Structure 1
Amino acid sequence: MRVGIIGAGSIGLLFAAYLSRVFDVTVYTRSQEQAAEINQHNVLLQSGTEETIAKVKALPIADWQGSEALTIIAVKQYQLFSIIERLSQLPSMPENILFLQNGMGHLKLLDDINTSNLFVGSVEHGALKENPYTVRHNGIGTTNVAVYKGDPGFLKMFVLAVSNVFPITFHEEYFAMMEKKLIANAMINPLTAILQVNNGALIDNPFYYKVLQNLFSEITAILNLEHPEGYWEHVIKICKKTRDNRSSMLKDIEAKRLTEVDAILGYLLEEANKQGKKLPQLETLYYLIKGIESQGVVI
């Protein structure tokens, strides 16, 4: 089966490295230069002390025709607008599309995509792009996937096919799955970005841990979670599994890129506004991140 991966950041390269063990993978890059680097070196996967080379084809996004059996969209949430516009220009709409973005702000963009099967996922792995063709797997977690619209048959087949090489978990209901990851993103990403610490510091430092608890109290109040203890345990589990990883938001700040704060905290603040509630701590984090972005972002 042929798989196309849109985006060659840390997650795109990570998926390419593992999925190429099962499928024929093509990565679509933003630049011709990165595509040339990948075609020359393939994708180098670093995990612990091991290095493996994954044979992957690369093309610039301008050459994407959407002809693969599965298309995985692994770009930042704010980059989706151009990808969705490109979808409308393809000769034929891809039949199976999997979106892998942080937060939940992008879900409202998916309703207008006219394809047979539309899937969403959340990634709990720690990954760092070392150079245009090298990715380091810092924390082994899982990828959670669910059907946004369409038939689950293809997605279940895909999950089963990769089960021996890359952990992917199928969920029957997408909203609860995405909400669970949203909570983790809203607590871990902005804090680590502002404090400039690895994920593990949030549970190792007792003062940071207290802030984490306070943020969780605000989030549970707005989302009306029935069993909040499970969500809390999930956040702590991610912090432990990705202890040495730097969050995507922290890496964006360090690279002077736009963050996904609008898709994460922005979504929660919109929900709070609908309910006439205030989230002072989350709002403070939101404005701090936006303030850092305003100091100079290089796209």
Structure 2
Amino acid sequence: MKIGIIGGGSIGLLLAHYLTEHHEVRVYVRSKKQMDKMAAEGLFFEKKKKLINETINVSLFSSWSAEEELIIVAVKQYQLPSVLEKFRESNRLKNCTLLFLQNGMGHLKLLNELNAKTIAVGTTEHGANKIKDNHVIHTGDGLINLSVYRGNNVSELAELLAMPIRNFPFKFQEDWNEMLLQKLIVNAVINPLTAVLNVKNGMLLKNTHFNYLFKEYFKELSTILNISNKEKTFRHLEDICRKTSENRSSMLKDLDEHRPTEIDAILGFVLEMAKEKQLDAPFSENYYHLIKGKEYEGGKN
């Protein structure tokens, strides 16, 4: 199957490495510098201190023309508007299946106007760190969950699920809302906490004081998001934290590199829900403003 991956970040490069084994993959990036580096040197994939160098098809996103059967969108949520604008310009989108792998749930309303055959959403539980434009480290194994958001032609998703990839499983979920809520909890707890505290994910379990905040913040979020099975969800949250213990969260890496974060997509959505339900959200409000403050300070440097 022809697969286009839009986004040359850590998850985009991780997908490129694993999917190339069974599919014809092309990565679309924004930067000519990244494209030239990947074209000249290939992709360096690292796991457990083993390094693999492989050839990857790469193009600028500006040249994308909807030639693939499956398009995986692996950009940050705040980068989506320009991607969707390009999608709307295409008259071939109706022949494509789109899979969106963004954090949070704020992007769903943006997908409703797209004229694609099938729109799917997904969540990733892998830990990954891009250390150069063409070098990604797989820091933690996990799942990629998929669910159909709109449409009923799932042949491309079925083909993706039908070819198991070692250490990179895909799992189909019937309920897209429940799937995204479970990931939202993970993002809303781990990302802001690690970014404010400037620690790797595993420290939220190892440090007694950080772990107290971890547990108390989960209680607040599970009430706002109306999580039915709190115990099971909390165990899942701990499991993700454990599996990605050596990972620096995407929000922490964004702050390190003075980039915008996805705080609006993650906690902005949570605060909207809290307001609608007339619930207090002291942890969410505090972490939201702490991250926005760090963004502001980073932007001045």
Distance in 2 (alpha carbons) for counterparts of 1:123 and 1:297? 28
Deviation of the 1:223 alpha carbon: 1.7
123-132 vs 161-170, which moves further:
161-170
Cross-structure match for 2:240? 238
Cross-structure match for 2:15? 15
Checking the alignment, whether the CA contact within 8 Å between 2:7 and 2:74 is kept in structure 1 is yes
Which residue, out of 250, 253, 277, partners 2:252?
A: 250
Residue identity matched to 2:187:
N
Distance in 1 (alpha carbons) for counterparts of 2:206 and 2:298? 31
Q: Deviations over 1:225-267 (max 9, x none)?
A: 2211111001100110000000000000001000001111111
Q: Deviations over 1:25-45 (max 9, x none)?
A: 111111111111111111111
Corresponding position: 1:117 with 2:118: yes
Q: How does 1:211-230 map to 2 (within 5 A)?
A: 211-230=213-232
Distance in 1 (alpha carbons) for counterparts of 2:259 and 2:164? 32
Which residue, out of 193, 196, 201, partners 1:194?
A: 196
Deviation of the 1:87 alpha carbon: 0.4
Unmatched runs of 5 consecutive residues or more in structure 2? none
Unmatched runs of 5 consecutive residues or more in structure 1? none
188-197 vs 104-113, which moves further:
104-113
Deviation of the 1:153 alpha carbon: 3.6
What is the DSSP-based 3-state SS (H/G/I as helix, E as strand, rest coil) of the residue aligned with 1:266?
A: helix
Distance in 2 (alpha carbons) for counterparts of 1:272 and 1:105? 14
Cross-structure match for 1:203? 205
Distance in 1 (alpha carbons) for counterparts of 2:39 and 2:209? 47
**Residue identity (%):** 42
What is the DSSP-based 3-state SS (H/G/I as helix, E as strand, rest coil) of the residue aligned with 2:299?
A: coil
Deviation of the 1:162 alpha carbon: 3.9
Corresponding position: 1:76 with 2:76: yes
Which residue, out of 149, 153, 156, partners 1:154?
A: 156
Cross-structure match for 2:54? 54
Checking the alignment, whether the CA contact within 8 Å between 1:27 and 1:57 is kept in structure 2 is yes
Checking the alignment, whether the CA contact within 8 Å between 1:127 and 1:137 is kept in structure 2 is yes
Corresponding position: 1:28 with 2:53: no
Checking the alignment, whether the CA contact within 8 Å between 1:26 and 1:59 is kept in structure 2 is yes
Q: Deviations over 1:108-143 (max 9, x none)?
A: 111111111101011110101111111000011111
200-209 vs 84-93, which moves further:
84-93
Deviation of the 1:52 alpha carbon: 1.6
Cross-structure match for 2:173? 171
What is the DSSP-based 3-state SS (H/G/I as helix, E as strand, rest coil) of the residue aligned with 1:295?
A: helix
Cross-structure match for 1:145? 146
Distance in 2 (alpha carbons) for counterparts of 1:250 and 1:291? 13
Deviation of the 1:178 alpha carbon: 0.6
Cross-structure match for 2:5? 5
Deviation of the 1:165 alpha carbon: 5.8
Cross-structure match for 1:291? 293
Checking the alignment, whether the CA contact within 8 Å between 2:141 and 2:168 is kept in structure 1 is no
Checking the alignment, whether the CA contact within 8 Å between 1:22 and 1:162 is kept in structure 2 is no
Residue identity matched to 2:20:
S
Deviation of the 1:174 alpha carbon: 0.6
Residue identity matched to 1:241:
K
